[in-house]
């Protein structure tokens, strides 16, 4: 069975850059690796993503949480198969995003959001989370530099503050395997830290390739 590792973090913490770095590093190994993103990740998921990010659409918080959970249900069905075929599956966001953004950020409550996700995931949990965290103000500054913001990025600073608090609560709860990555450091240092963590989850016969 392969391992499932998830990249998480508030907006503007450099997740996309990190993901490209991880991809580059893993391409140099013989590991079979699959990547997917949320929202999105499959044909149905990409359609749900378009609904979720559409700046013209308004939706109730519960609808939003259910759409993310529906997307995740579809990805989980695929993930179960992929973990048999791949050494590693890496996701750009998963369950903890919903707990932090919809649970804490939108105020739906992490427990309630967990319930609908547990229906989608049948209680399944990823093997590891790499959680990029940055000073909230710095993250918002970085995000504002982007020209076109989608529906979810337009939310107020207060929302994004709560999201970071949500992630911190999840880490403190000790219920999820979370490694906090300091997103304020140089990109090479961040990548190095993440590759060390990923190295702990790859099959023993591939360890030399990565370390
Ligand atoms: P995306 O463009 O993929 O941004 P990022 O590069 O930051 O991941 O948009 C994803 C947005 O969706 C992001 O603002 C986080 C949000 N999101 C949730 O609110 N709940 C979720 O469950 C997931 C997976 C994402």
Are the CB atoms for 6 and 96 separated by under 8 Å? yes
- pTM here is 0.94
The confidence score (pLDDT) of residue 12 equals 87
Per-block average pLDDT, block size 10, for the chain (211 residues)? 96 93 96 98 98 95 98 98 97 98 98 98 97 85 77 84 96 97 96 97 77 64
Residue to substitute in 7, 9, 11, 94 for testing ligand 1 pocket (most ligand atoms within 8 angstroms of CB): 11
pLDDT in tens, 176-198: 999 999 999 999 999 999 999 99
Q: Is the CB of 117 under 6 A from ligand 1?
A: no
**In this structure, how many other beta carbons lie within 10 angstroms of the beta carbon of residue 33?**
18
Report helix, strand or coil for 114. helix
The interaxial angle of helices 157-173 and 110-121, nearest 10 deg, is 70
Q: Report how far residue 65's alpha carbon sits from residue 81's, in angstroms, rounded to the nearest whole number.
A: 25
Q: Which two tokens stand for residue 205?
A: 């016969």
Q: Please list, in sequence order, all residues whose beta carbon lies within 8 angstroms of the beta carbon of residue 154, skipping any fewer than 6 positions away.
A: 55
């Amino acid at each position: 069975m392969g391992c499932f590792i998830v990249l998480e973090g508030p907006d503007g913490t450099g997740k996309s850059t990190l993901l490209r770095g991880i991809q580059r590093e893993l391409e140099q190994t013989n590991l079979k690796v699959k990547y997917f993103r949320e929202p999105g990740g499959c044909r149905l998921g990409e359609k749900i993503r378009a609904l979720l990010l559409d700046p013209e659409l308004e939706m109730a918080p519960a609808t939003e949480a259910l759409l993310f959970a529906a997307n995740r249900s579809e990805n989980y069905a695929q993930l179960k198969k992929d973990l048999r075929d791949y050494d590693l599956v890496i996701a750009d966001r998963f369950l903890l995003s919903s707990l932090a953004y919809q649970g804490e950020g939108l105020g739906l409550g992490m427990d309630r959001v967990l319930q609908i996700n547990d229906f989608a995931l049948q209680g399944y949990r990823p093997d590891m989370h790499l959680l990029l965290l940055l000073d909230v103000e710095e993250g918002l500054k970085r995000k504002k530099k982007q020209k076109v913001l989608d529906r979810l990025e337009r939310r107020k600073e207060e929302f994004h503050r709560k999201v970071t608090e949500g992630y911190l609560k999840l880490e403190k709860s000790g219920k999820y395997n979370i490694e906090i990555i300091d997103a304020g450091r140089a990109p090479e240092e961040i990548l190095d830290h993440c590759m060390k963590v990923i190295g702990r989850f790859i099959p023993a016969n591939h360890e030399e390739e990565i370390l």
